[in-house]
Structure formats: structure tokens, C-alpha cells
Amino acid sequence: MVDIRVVGARDRQKQEFTEEISNLVCPGDVITTDTGFMRGHGTYMEDEKLHASVAGVVERVNKLICVKPLKTRYNGEVGDVVIGRIIEVGQKRWKVDTRSKLDSILMLSSVNLPGGELRRRSEEDEKMMRNYLKEGDLISAEVQSVFSDGALSLHTRSLKYGKLAQGTIIQVSPSLIKRRKTHFHTLPCGATIILGNNGSVWISATMNEETEQTGGYEQDLEPVSKGDREVIARLRNCVIALSEHQMMLYDTSVLYSYEESLRFNVKDILKPEIMTEIIENTQPRLESLGT
């Protein structure tokens, strides 16, 4: 059965907001004429006046003024966890697409060789690069450093990073991912979720403990059971529901929305009214947590 809706019939529930955000600016607006401030992102100086160059909210930290836009491409910081796809195999490096302003780079010296050996990379290793990671592979990695032009340098030096297999990936806006101490979460429902800072969310079934520490190159291609698949699908729809309603994504919010969604069928979660209902039930629970 196919579910068809007419666009006009969608009830757009406009949230009532009491007053307009006071420090909202649009490109070209004058923020201040005071020259004592330092210019941050999203601003430019012209004729002794500070103008905004993006549409967003003005943030003032002591003497620094910057304008934070609603959404931008991912800006990498050192230590972030990202999920990306290999797009090119080059000389001693892989090019990874992390949905940021420039492609990220994974150097051959920043990966763990299979078998876990620590040795100098030889010419043989360069030729075997394609055996480890080739175009189209999905990896999780951490940002090691940022080049001067803004490109990220990644590394997969820990055993928890590496090639990803058998799961589902969702792209959301990077501003919805809350910065936490850890981005790898094992949920009690039987699935592992990786919340990449670049807006990519990866959901897969929880691996058994023993088979996990292989250095990240062996893909477990055992068939996933139906129960696990359903859990993964339900989690995916919940993440989509949270992102549609612009809610921050972190382990607690995903877990609560999963629990709220158990009443419905997995495929019904994608319907707009059911999405709204789940979110409405999740929000008070999160607020009562005091987050």
C-alpha cells in the first residue's frame, strides 16, 4: 500500500514564539560602529563599521564578535570523530569525503596496518594501499590536525576506528550533533551508534566483544539477524525524526525517542504526524533531565 499525501494538507504547526530573537542579523547589516571589537567569523569590516556577512545570531564573547549562521558545512576541529567515504587512492594517502569544505586526507602513516604491526611504511605498503581501503569504503576516523587551507588530516590509530560494515548511515546537519566526551554509543536495544561530528550518523548491530579488536580492517560480513535489522531501522527513523524537528542528537535523546517510538510500527515513524507525536513525548523527558 502506498501512502500519498497532498502537500497543502500538511498542517504546519508554527511554534509560537513570544518575541523575535533580538540579535538577529542578515548579510550587510551593521553590527556595531565601535572599533574596539575583534572580528570573528561571519563578519567583515567596511568603512570603519562592522558588518555581518551571514544570516544568524550575533555572539559576543568579551571583545570578540562573531555571527553564527544557521547551517554551514562541517568545520573540523582537532579531536572530532568523523565518518567519511574514500573517494581517491593517491600517493601515500587516501582522500576522504567528509562533507566539509574540502576533502579530508588520510595519510598512510596515520592508519594501523592489518595485523597491528608498528613498522615503517615501505614501498610494498604503498602498492597494497588498495587492499586496505579502496574507493567507496566507509570509515570512521578522528581528526588529527587541520591544514592551513582548512582541509582535515585524519587518523585511525585507535582500534575503535576503521572500516565500517553492515549498518546504515544517515546525513544530518553538523550543528545538530552535540559535542560530547565520546561519540561511540552502545545502546541497550542491541545496536551501536556513532555520531560523527560532521553530521554523519552510523548505526550498526553491536559486535561481539572478542571479534572487535582486529585493527579495523576486517569487515564482518555475517548476515545480520532480523531482530537486529528492525532495531537498526527503528533507530534510523528516530534519528530522522529528531533531525526534522531540529533537535540536538546525543545518546540520551536518541534513546528516549527510540523508547517513545516502540508503540508504533517501524515504517509509521516516518509519517509526519507520528514523528511530531514522538518528539512531543520525548521533549519533556529531556527537559526534565535538566540537559
Partner 1 sequence: MAGVNLLSDQGYRIDGRKPNELRRIQCKLGVFKQADGSAYIEQGNTKVLATVYGPHEIRGSRAKLLLDRVLVNCQYSMATFSTGERKRRPRGDRKSQEMTMHLKQTFDAAIMTNLYPRSQIDIFVEVLQSDGGNYCASVNAATLALIDAGIPMKDFVCACSASFVNDNPIADINYLEESSGGPELIVATLPKSDQIVFLEQNSRLHEDNLSKVIDLAVKSCKDVYTVLDQTVRDHVSELSNSHGWDH
**73 sits near partner 1 (criterion: CB under 8 A):** yes
**56 sits near partner 1 (criterion: CB under 8 A):** yes
**91 sits near partner 1 (criterion: CB under 8 A):** no
Residue 71 sits at the vertex; the CA angle it makes with 74 and 105, to the nearest 5 degrees, is 10
Three cell numbers, residue 176: 545538530
Three cell numbers, residue 133: 581501503
| Beta carbons within 10 angstroms of residue 99's beta carbon | 18
Q: Which stretch binds partner 1 (CB under 8 A): 97-105, 185-193, 229-237, 257-265?
A: 97-105
Give the shortest CB-190-to-partner 1 separation in angstroms.
29
| Strands 184-187 vs 162-163: parallel, antiparallel or unpaired | unpaired
Q: Scanning residues 4 to 33, which ones bind partner 1 (CB under 8 A)?
A: 14-15, 17, 20-21, 24, 26-28
Q: Scanning residues 188 to 217, which ones bind partner 1 (CB under 8 A)?
A: none
Supply φ then ψ for residue 185, to 5 degrees: -125, 135
Residue pointed to by grid coordinates 549498518: 167
The footprint of partner 1 on this chain (CB under 8 A) covers a number of residues equal to: 34
Per DSSP, the residues of 89-111 read EETTEEEEE-SBSS-EEEEEEEE
Give the shortest CB-73-to-partner 1 separation in angstroms.
7
CB 264 within 8 A of CB 233: no
Whole-number Å distance between alpha carbons of 97 and 211: 28
**236 sits near partner 1 (criterion: CB under 8 A):** no
Q: Which one of 10, 38, 44, 280 is in contact with partner 1 (CB under 8 A)? A: 44
Give the shortest CB-291-to-partner 1 separation in angstroms.
10
CB 181 within 8 A of CB 251: no
Phi-psi region of 246 (alpha: psi -120 to 50; beta: other; left: phi over 0): left
**284 sits near partner 1 (criterion: CB under 8 A):** no
Give the shortest CB-242-to-partner 1 separation in angstroms.
12
Binding site for partner 1 (CB under 8 A): 14-15, 17, 20-21, 24, 26-28, 42, 44, 46, 51, 53-57, 69-73, 97, 101-103, 149-150, 171, 175, 245-246, 248
